[in-house]
Amino acid sequence: MSGRIGIALIAVAIALLITASAGTSVVSMDRSIAVEVVDDEDANVAVEPVEVTNEGESANESDTAADATTQADDEEELLTVTNRFADSIEVTAFEAPSGVEIEAEGTEIEPGESTSLEGTVDCDELESEPEATVELDGSGVTISQTVDLEVGCSDASV
């Protein structure tokens, strides 16, 4: 009789061992990650605002792209996108405030190249501190960067 009890205890111990190890074989983990974009001259992708004068030359601090845009149909260089990746990237989305029009989607930028994004500025519709968001895709990476536009209008317009 003690032999039967011993065999029964061994069988129960084996059953508990199998059940306990099977219960911990499934694990679920949830990790969050936060990425912050910072200014860096050597970044893989740079999206920078451009300042121009009425003649389209380099500007000083008081001249902006909107000063050069006297009519809504005049296109001026408003942003520069630089690609330092080893592969080409493409502008997949572009968001700008009312008063700024840039046709940038589908623009492809080769490795080591910079591309100017040109557009128009309507000072009557422009926000006081406009910013634009450029979304780029390449090498399996999607990058979204928001920059302040260097556009300004006379005090009467804004």
Is the full-model pTM beyond 0.85?
no
The reported pLDDT for the residue numbered 91 is 93
Domain-located, residue 79: yes
Q: Which pLDDT band holds residue 124 (cuts at 50, 70, 90)?
A: confident
Domain containing 108 equals 45-148
Task: Report the b/e string of 64-86 with b at 16+ CB within 10 A.
Answer: bbbbbbeeeeeebbbbebebebe
Domain-located, residue 31: no
Our count of domains for the chain comes to: 1
Domain-located, residue 126: yes
Is pLDDT at 64 greater than 50 in this prediction?
A: no
Helix (H, G, I), strand (E, B) or coil at 3: helix
Q: Which residue has the higher pLDDT, 145 or 73?
A: 145
Q: Which pLDDT band holds residue 70 (cuts at 50, 70, 90)?
A: very low
Domain-located, residue 134: yes
- Cβ-based neighbours of 83, under 8 Å, separated by 6 or more: 44, 45, 89, 109, 110, 111, 112, 113, 114, 115, 138
Mean pLDDT of 62-82: 63
Domain-located, residue 91: yes
Domain-located, residue 57: yes
The reported pLDDT for the residue numbered 24 is 53
The reported pLDDT for the residue numbered 155 is 52
The reported pLDDT for the residue numbered 25 is 55
Is pLDDT at 79 greater than 60 in this prediction?
A: yes
Domain-located, residue 135: yes
Domain-located, residue 12: no
CATH number of the domain that residue 130 is part of: 2.60.40
